[in-house]
A and B are shown apart, each in its own frame.
Chain A
């Protein structure tokens, strides 16, 4: 049971990074369906940076740099994908849905191009990411449940909490929400709508990129697999499941993680049954979406989500 929970949390934090990134993006009114692609690129850039770093320094590996360099690379990789999305939708006025799907296809392809074969270096690098505090092992179940994780789990938590605070308690957050709700009003109030959309999308995609890297380096222990995009779709579902609230997403992500891996922990289920189990997060999301849109007026997506804004067309 404990191993199941720990595993669910490790996978969940990957979802959390993706969904926090997507929430920030969606709060600006950008419905970015390119998140799966962004996460792929984030993972690939991080892994490739690790590969280059290990090759360059040989045996003299600094544990801190082995973590920081891939982090920055994946942040930049994701951020650049966000920049591309914003450029296409804000500046070139392309349709957000179509652009998002194109970004997903592009991102999956790019990650396959960057990582043409899985390298043992990744598993080596993964050790630095999954390293946990030395005394955690001595604290029994408490240590295992709360302190046995690598850097990504804590990073995801901090990012989600900080995002919640910024969105709800700061002027930047207020302005960002206004841009996503009613860009014309925000514009009239003197807020630079394009700047906020560009900024939120780039930062959001950067964070989502980290999610991709966390999936490979933390959850899969550095075993490269071409399935990061599946995590990306779940991250988007998680945004809806947690009604655009990163603090709720902390718990939502753990539920998603648990549902996703439940099939491997339940014995006596056929292969087809396991695949059915993996659909649970999506089914739960659809149910939540139906219930929230029927009942509550408060937990709704940003009003201008997916809508373009051009001042001249007022």
Chain B
């Protein structure tokens, strides 16, 4: 027995200028199923869904909702067809409570009473098992709570077809599990759910069927039960690709960076790093694993001189002279000149590393302008460097003078990492360098890091995907709540072993220390 079709796209084409986002694309979604849409960056996943949600209007093709042709010209039209989309960037009013945000723009009959809205919201949360305080202000919420409000907004308006654009990109593994539980309950309730994602293991665990998009076309739809990661990747790329990271043995490792008993507090005076000690060796990749916000960012910033440190020392051994230097006495520029490079890729890619409105050449100069002499800028060297990076890392850009803001996420990341590597660092720190990147771009970055390791650089890699950490890193340092809970060998470690360390509370750590 076939389930009834909830949504069908037939021959959808959409072009932006000369760029074809979708070409003759078909998609079918049944009632009561979770459909995953998989595809590389720029394969047209989000564009296709934006057309269903009324943000864009297709150039050609038809959309059918419940078997009838639908003309969706605005988000309002989409709501009329009971289609709701949860975008990657939340659209919420920060000072409003969850309820107020949910009530926004809804023109119900009768008098407006926030208590009625509240009642209905609680009803929905109980039905699907959301955990949220309807009177909490969005400004005080975590990312996952904000996402819950976005989903509630859509459900409140009575959506039967929900589209989620990379909902897990900002969630911890635990939050992702909770979200998936809610999505499964919605499926049982007869709703159709479309989820756009990059993460293969999520596709396999949550979806009923997978639609793979390649260069704007539907490269095939398969039942999740009948497929595996390798097949899906092949469909995505259109060719068989080897997704292996070559991990070489570290060559004569020497101590490069020794962190001992490091403690730091944040602006509010709460401890963010407590008694952290580890050593990073040259020619190896040291992974840092942990739930998001466990102090990874602060640790890297402390080493780079951006976070003030209360206690402990950060000793750096100069590979040329063999001299020991304490980085705590130095300012960020001196630390950088020593060869300690932070290619920090925080939540906001452009925020800390690059200036969006400047082109690639000027962004190269951000790191080197202080070396220049004379009053005028010399653009030749940075221009050559930009050209080298574009060629070596296959950055897709119209040219070196294109503002970085206009590049896609993966290419921005390549520019950032490329620039830091070009400075021939001795310590390279990268935090979440592949966040939001497609499979191909991710492996380019992994290979870059590997090449640095072979050149004798001490690489510190903060990652979120345990599979990647275990494939890439020689040793993995596990942190939880600002403390080191263990160090494991990347070659022999088990996933659940790391998972346990990630959630281990510090009482246990302290207890072990005494033994």
Contact = CB atoms under 8 A, between A and B. Distances in A.
Interface of A: 169-171, 174-175, 177-178, 181-182, 184-186, 188-191, 297-298, 300, 303
A191 B107 CA distance: 10
Query: Which of A170, A175, A182 has the largest number of chain B CB atoms within 10 A?
Result: A182
B105 A186 contact: yes
Q: Does more than half of chain B's interface fall in helix, strand or loop, or is it mixed?
A: loop
B105 A181 contact: no
A186 B94 contact: no
Given A170-B112, A174-B112, A186 B104 contact: yes
**Main secondary structure on chain A at its contact with chain B?**
helix
B94 A182 contact: yes
26 contacts: A170-B112, A171-B103, A171-B107, A174-B112, A175-B104, A175-B105, A177-B93, A177-B96, A178-B105, A181-B94, A181-B95, A182-B92, A182-B93, A182-B94, A185-B91, A186-B104, A186-B105, A189-B91, A189-B105, A190-B74, A190-B75, A190-B76, A191-B104, A191-B105, A298-B95, A300-B95
B464 interface: no
A178 B139 contact: no
Nearest to A171: B112
B213 to A, nearest CB: 24
B100 interface: yes
Q: Number of contact residues on B: which range applies?
A: 10 to 19
B81 to A, nearest CB: 14
A189 B104 contact: yes
Interface of B: 74-76, 79, 91-96, 100, 103-107, 112, 114, 139
Contacts of A181: 93-96
B91 A184 contact: yes
B80 to A, nearest CB: 11
Contacts, number: 54
A302 B96 CA distance: 11
Nearest to B103: A174
Nearest to B90: A185
B139 A185 contact: no
B170 to A, nearest CB: 18
B76 A174 contact: no
Contact of B105 (A169, A190, A300): A190
A59 to B, nearest CB: 49
A84 B139 CA distance: 35
A178 B95 CA distance: 9
A297 B268 CA distance: 15
A62 to B, nearest CB: 38
A20 B334 CA distance: 55
Most buried by B among A188, A297, A303: A188
B109 to A, nearest CB: 11
Nearest to A179: B93
A165 to B, nearest CB: 12
A185 B104 contact: yes
B96 A303 contact: no
Given A175-B105, A190-B75, A190-B76, A185 B95 contact: no
Given A170-B112, A174-B112, A188 B75 contact: yes
Contacts of B75: 188, 190
B79 to A, nearest CB: 8
B164 to A, nearest CB: 16
A174 B100 contact: yes
B156 to A, nearest CB: 11
